[in-house]
Structure 1
Amino acid sequence: MDPHLLRTYITVARLASFSEAARALGYTQSAVSQHIAALENDLGLPLLGRRPVIPTPAGERLLEHAGSLLLRLDAARADLARFSAAPRQTLTLAAAPLALRPGTLAVLPASGVTLRTLPRDEVPAAVATGAADLGLVDGLVAPSDPLRLPDVAPLTAARVAEEPLAVVLPAGHPLARRAGLRLADLVDARWLDAPHAGFPIDLLRTVQGGAAGHGFRTALLYEGTDTCILAALTAAGHGLTLLPVSFASASAGAVAVPLSAPRLAHRIELLHIGAEPPAHAAEFVGRLRA
């Protein structure tokens, strides 16, 4: 399966137009049509309807595979490029917002660093494809369990930190003086849905064992990455949120109550390609692990 044809197919399917795909890719419309025809001939299946331009059932199934296939190819190219590339002096770190603890920021080199804040599910791909030298990714796990990472490349993951969680409430909330809170007791509360700065509502439903669409009503959707704003929204009464304890008291007027059940921890892991981190990142990695 030719990856060039596959990229063309993904673009046509995404834009639902041969002409728009041609403009996006810098090809002629005739070339795009030829790519799609060649891919369909290779697979022996029609992949796209023409009026309108939508994937067939077989085309939909191919889209499920296509992204991971191309990502794997990009990761392999980036990995092999390291053998011929000149040693780098600068460090690019991709990190999910909640993976950037104060201690991590304190050990960053004084110069020569590019820090990219990305959604947590984009960090492994950034490292795999060479867009970042290192990645810091986070998630909710049972204590001491590793994170479940996508199989995008032979990434090495190492534990950086693990800490408890807290429910963040306004200071005047009736539950603010509790010694601990169970997530099961808060399913009917109004929550902030913060997929990047905190945790998405669907994840709270999953860890609580609830069905999608049940419990944890969204009071406000926050699509930013600033955890201070997230805590401030809670302090202002816009909804509850769940945060690691080191982030939970980031705003005056908010109270952090430890999560007592279920037993979950916030885990941060360092990602890099290969068995050892890049040589120019070794000092930072050593400080981070210390």
Structure 2
Amino acid sequence: MKDQPDLKLLSTFLAVVEHGSMAAAAAALGYVPSAVSQHVAALERDLGVELLVRRPGSRLILTSAGRALARAAADLFEATARFRDAADGIARREVAELRVGAYPSAVSHLFPGVLSALRPRERGVRVRLIIVETHAGLPRVRSGDLDLLIAYRYLPEDPPVASAELALTSLGHEPLVLVAGPQPGGRPLALEDCLDREWTSGLAHSPDRRLLHRWAGELGIAPEVTLETEDLHSMLAMIRAGLAVGWIPAGLIDASLTEGERGGGGVQRVVLPPGSAPMRREVLAVSRPGTRPPIADELVALLTRALRDVGA
């Protein structure tokens, strides 16, 4: 027996099984009947067993070996068809699973609505969403562990940057809002009212801390940061408790709590001096060059629109 079956002989044999005779199989395949008979005989020689009981003038009868081979051959051709479909899909950059990394506030405030609009499962695609900060996600994109990373950048000179390993698409800019705890009587809070208060921001040399220092330097002020954390939810909790002032991404703040004082432990915007430059961070989609499938492009487009709504 040969190590690999002759697919042409197997295909002819299955046609004989399906149509019930050499002549009918020959008509279906466009062969002469003698060619079909030769194919079946050659297959029997390769396997060393009889596959068909040939009786002149009657329908062909499959032997037990013939029935077993017919089932195995049908499974083989079905698997081959599935493989070809999968290979064609891969060539068209279709995927069964898209591994997406994103920073925590994007997952909680952008992705629920975006994934509901995309409905990947209805299209046979599973989006595996992984919460990861930008600095930790970039190596995973390079290694191929992540297909797409939704990242942020506070300063243009900071990572991520485009390279031979990383392709970047800007989704837009997310506004940062200077907020404090609610004031008694709904009194507006101006920046000068916050200069003697404690502030919260990132660690000493983190991008958001450096952005804060750059902004403060342009205004000639020196806010005192006493709560250093990379956890935005911790920052917001301290601000809501009236213990600190800080810049928070607009998407993290409930829309009903961003304009003036709102009751129930909310926050209020700090009124900035006229002409103050807006604070914001850029949001980017990061992938390996040339590897982004169509559904990833659709996801990026939806995230771009969702981010635009946050900034509106």
Note closer, same or farther for the CA distance 1:202–1:118 as it changes in structure 2 (3 Å cut): same
Would you say 1:107 and 2:114 are equivalent positions?
yes
Shift of 1:289: 4.1
TM-score by length of 2: 0.49
8 A Cα contact 2:167 2:289, kept in partner: yes
Would you say 1:245 and 2:253 are equivalent positions?
no
Alignment-derived partner of residue 181 in structure 2: 170
8 A Cα contact 2:101 2:131, kept in partner: yes
Note closer, same or farther for the CA distance 1:140–1:232 as it changes in structure 2 (3 Å cut): same
Deviations 1:106-162 (A, max 9, x none): 122455222222222223222122121101111335xxx797524664322122232
Q: How does 1:89-128 map to 2 (within 5 A)?
A: 89-100=96-107, 102-108=109-115, 109=119, 111=121, 112-128=126-142
Matches of 1:208 and 1:174 in 2, distance apart? 29
* Match of residue 219, structure 1, among 221, 226, 230: 226
* Match of residue 198, structure 2, among 190, 197, 201: 190
8 A Cα contact 1:128 1:152, kept in partner: no
Would you say 1:271 and 2:290 are equivalent positions?
no
Unaligned runs of 5+ in 2: 1-89, 258-264, 306-312
* Match of residue 157, structure 1, among 162, 168, 179: 168
One-letter amino acid of the counterpart of residue 103, structure 2:
A
8 A Cα contact 1:192 1:241, kept in partner: yes
8 A Cα contact 2:200 2:228, kept in partner: yes
Alignment-derived partner of residue 308 in structure 2: none
Shift of 1:275: 4.1
TM-score by length of 1: 0.53
8 A Cα contact 1:96 1:136, kept in partner: yes
Matches of 1:95 and 1:176 in 2, distance apart? 37
Alignment-derived partner of residue 55 in structure 2: none
Shift of 1:234: 0.8
8 A Cα contact 1:94 1:115, kept in partner: yes
Note closer, same or farther for the CA distance 1:223–1:287 as it changes in structure 2 (3 Å cut): closer
Alignment-derived partner of residue 31 in structure 2: none
Note closer, same or farther for the CA distance 1:247–1:206 as it changes in structure 2 (3 Å cut): same
8 A Cα contact 1:166 1:259, kept in partner: no
Question: How many residue pairs get matched?
Answer: 194
Shift of 1:170: 0.5
Matches of 1:192 and 1:175 in 2, distance apart? 22
Would you say 1:256 and 2:269 are equivalent positions?
yes
Matches of 1:120 and 1:152 in 2, distance apart? 16
Q: How does 1:78-89 map to 2 (within 5 A)?
A: 88-89=95-96
8 A Cα contact 1:165 1:258, kept in partner: no
Unaligned runs of 5+ in 1: 1-82
Matches of 1:289 and 1:262 in 2, distance apart? 23
Of structures 1 and 2, the larger Rg is shown by 2
Shift of 1:95: 1.4
Matches of 2:98 and 2:299 in 1, distance apart? 9
Matched residue SS, 1:288: helix
8 A Cα contact 1:138 1:147, kept in partner: no
Note closer, same or farther for the CA distance 1:134–1:176 as it changes in structure 2 (3 Å cut): farther
One-letter amino acid of the counterpart of residue 236, structure 1:
A
Matched residue SS, 2:140: helix
Alignment-derived partner of residue 285 in structure 1: 300
One-letter amino acid of the counterpart of residue 143, structure 2:
T
Matches of 1:258 and 1:249 in 2, distance apart? 18
One-letter amino acid of the counterpart of residue 296, structure 2:
A
Matched residue SS, 1:136: strand
One-letter amino acid of the counterpart of residue 137, structure 1:
A
Percent identity of the aligned residues?
21
Matches of 2:153 and 2:105 in 1, distance apart? 9
* Match of residue 232, structure 1, among 233, 237, 242: 237
Matched residue SS, 1:159: strand
Note closer, same or farther for the CA distance 1:253–1:280 as it changes in structure 2 (3 Å cut): closer
8 A Cα contact 2:179 2:247, kept in partner: yes
Deviations 1:240-285 (A, max 9, x none): 1201223234773211236562333232111111146234534423
